[in-house]
């Protein structure tokens, strides 16, 4: 009876050790797949845990945990997006185009070389970037701005309409003799 209990305990312990080893191998495979796209690194990581037989997988797991990449692919991607956003934020607004020294976003002139960085809106007097066509606050067109080529037909029609301050330009009329000569040929 004691031998049967010892055999049963050995079988249960062996099955438990095998399942623990197998679950460790599966966890390592899933974890390395989230951390690297390199298939050879994935195979090597799984092999390190596989080579230690059930019950002795602690050294393989410890070795894997020491050598695995620190960040998952998702974390690395999120960090790179944050870095790119910070660099973009500093890119246009953060330095003078002439002397390349750092400037504040609300500087109109560079304090180092006196280069004009922005212009004031004619209507609301807010600072406008040279790349803007209109003021983002009041919508007034920036003086000297070149309208974009990709303007929609509605925007083009609004731009062509005279304002109250401007009178519509008169279209010069061709003399009647010139018009008559055109139709005769």
**Residue 73 belongs to what H/E stretch?**
helix 73-93
Q: Where are the domains of the chain?
A: 2-70
Compute CA distances 169 → 19, 70, 115, 173, whole Å.
Answer: 88, 69, 38, 12
Q: Tally the residues of the chain.
A: 185
Q: Write b or e for each residue in 128-144: b if 16 or more Cβ atoms lie within 10 A of its Cβ, otherwise e.
A: beeeeeebeeeeeebee
Measured CA to CA, the distance from residue 6 to residue 148 in angstroms comes to 86
Which two tokens mark 154? 């509605």
pLDDT at 178: 46
Q: Which of 68, 69, 49, 47 is nearest to 57 (CA)?
A: 49
**H helices then E strands: how many in the chain?**
6, 2
Q: From first to last of its 185 residues, what are the pLDDT tens digits of the chain?
A: 788 999 999 999 989 888 888 888 899 999 999 999 999 999 999 998 888 765 567 788 888 889 899 999 999 999 999 988 777 766 555 678 788 787 887 788 888 898 888 888 888 888 888 778 888 888 888 776 665 554 444 444 444 444 444 444 444 444 455 444 445 54
How much is the pTM? 0.46
pLDDT at 164: 47
């Amino acid at each position: 009876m004691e031998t049967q209990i010892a055999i049963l305990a050995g079988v249960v312990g062996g099955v438990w050790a095998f399942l623990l080893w197998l679950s460790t191998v599966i966890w390592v495979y899933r974890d390395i797949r989230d951390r690297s796209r390199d298939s050879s690194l994935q195979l090597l990581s799984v092999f390190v845990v596989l080579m230690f037989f059930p019950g002795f997988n602690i050294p393989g797991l410890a070795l894997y945990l020491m050598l695995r990449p620190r960040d998952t692919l998702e974390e690395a991607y999120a960090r790179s997006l944050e870095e790119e956003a910070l660099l973009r934020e500093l890119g246009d607004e953060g330095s003078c185009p002439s002397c390349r020294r750092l400037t504040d976003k609300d500087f109109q002139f560079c304090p180092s070389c006196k280069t004009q960085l922005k212009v004031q809106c004619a209507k609301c007097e807010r600072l406008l970037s040279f790349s803007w066509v209109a003021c983002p606050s009041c919508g007034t067109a920036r003086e000297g701005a070149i309208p974009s080529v990709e303007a929609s037909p509605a925007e083009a029609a609004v731009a062509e309409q005279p304002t109250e301050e401007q009178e519509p330009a008169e279209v010069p009329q061709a003399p009647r003799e010139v018009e008559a000569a055109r139709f005769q040929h």
